[in-house]
Structure 1
Amino acid sequence: MSREVILYIAASVDGYIAETDGSIDFLGGGIELVEEDTSYQELMGKIDTVVMGRTTYDQVVNELSPDQYPYEEQMSYIITSHPDENTEKLIFTSKGPAELIQELKEQEGEAIWVVGGASIIAPLTEAKLIDTYILTTIPTILGKGIRLFNEFNGPVNLKVEQVYVKNDMVYTTYSNRNQ
């Protein structure tokens, strides 16, 4: 049995996941939330593991949720060359993204969420290890910033599974045709 690997992430219309300085203020984009969106809760209901890079982890614990780690119920793997001390549910590792995900896919468990960032996403995409891409397009054009996909050897062929619009954001779910 192989666990599903999901990339669930938001990007600007021109494909950036963060501004040049790493900030993600554009995600609010002046969007008025008038419709209930349960996509995040649905994702959290099917995962038991999160994987992210050190920059994303630092942003989560220092800026986005400094008072409480939002993934304390899940196993967290932080890919870094500067590991901290591991805890029961927080593992710092210097393994490459593809090696780590291969190992996790072979273990018992529920789905795995790849939180970010671009240096983690590109090698997983190139290795065709992401099963499901859930991309939320924010109606903002940044012009520059941190790209969703760094360069890699492609192509990776996807199949559109679902598209819907909520609160002026476009949600697109793709499955990996190479699976």
Structure 2
Amino acid sequence: MARKVILFITQTLDGYIANEKGKINFLWNDKFASGNAVDREYAKLSKRVNTVVMGRHTYNQVVNELSPTTYPYADYENYVMTTHPLPDEDNIHFINGDVAKLVKDLKSKSSRGDIWVIGGSNVIAPLVNADLIDIYHIGIVPIVLGKGIPLFSERVSPKELTLDSVKKVDEIVYLEYVR
């Protein structure tokens, strides 16, 4: 069975993945999980993927702000897209190249796990334009920022998707689209 490429990401109601300064701390708010529901979306993703593709800004945010003591994706093969590569560290590969070519290569390799894409438009836009994302799993938090870093930039070509599922977990809505 062919590996799937999954964009699994959270955004604000008005489509931003970060504020103007690149901060994402507003995406996690206790008010969003004040009910009795347990959010298992990330746990489900974790069981199905074994590869993560992200940009350097996302990687830096993870290791410097979100989880500075323990790398949360240590059990996965990691590919960090960057114009300033570092030497590989265990299963973290710093890649200066075409993200679409990398993902095509990863998809063609036999594996029991799918590929998770996280990050900003430098990673996402080329994959959308190359029609390489199979599943768009987007969490929407009930915040309107008015401005910030959009999930999809103006570099993305129009793309029609099919709604596969909608799920509400407390105040977060998860939309899943397929190509």
Query: How far is 1:19 from its partner?
Result: 0.4
Query: How far is 1:25 from its partner?
Result: 1.7
- What letter matches 1:21 in structure 2? K
Which residue, 126, 130, 154 being the options, matches 2:157? 154
Which residue, 126, 131, 140 being the options, matches 1:128? 131
Query: How far is 1:88 from its partner?
Result: 2.8
Identity %, equivalent residues: 43
Q: What's the TM-score, normalizing by structure 2?
A: 0.94
Which residue, 110, 114, 117 being the options, matches 1:111? 114
User: 3-state DSSP class of the match of 2:33?
Assistant: coil
Q: Distance in 2 between matches of 1:9 and 1:138?
A: 11
Which residue, 36, 60, 63 being the options, matches 2:62? 60
Matched, 1:166 2:169: yes
Q: Distance in 2 between matches of 1:118 and 1:49?
A: 19
Query: How far is 1:28 from its partner?
Result: 2.2
8 Å CA contact retained: 2:52, 2:79: yes
Task: Identify which range, 50-59 or 119-128, moves more after superposition.
Answer: 119-128
8 Å CA contact retained: 2:126, 2:156: no
User: 3-state DSSP class of the match of 1:116?
Assistant: coil
Gaps of 5+ in 1: none
Please list the CA deviations of residues 2-33 of structure 1 after superposition, one character each: whole Å capped at 9, or x if unmatched: 31000000001110000000101210244233
User: 3-state DSSP class of the match of 1:72?
Assistant: coil
Query: How far is 1:132 from its partner?
Result: 0.1
Please list the CA deviations of residues 86-138 of structure 1 after superposition, one character each: whole Å capped at 9, or x if unmatched: 02311000011111111111112110000112211111111110000000011
Which residue, 87, 98, 123 being the options, matches 2:100? 98
Question: After the TM superposition, which parts of structure 1 deviate over 6 Å for at least 4 consecutive aligned residues?
Answer: none
User: 3-state DSSP class of the match of 1:157?
Assistant: coil
Gaps of 5+ in 2: none
Q: CA-atom RMSD, angstroms?
A: 1.2
Which residue, 75, 86, 89 being the options, matches 2:88? 86
In structure 2, the CA distance between the partners of 1:17 and 1:153, relative to structure 1 (3 Å rule), is: closer
Count of residues in correspondence between the two structures? 176
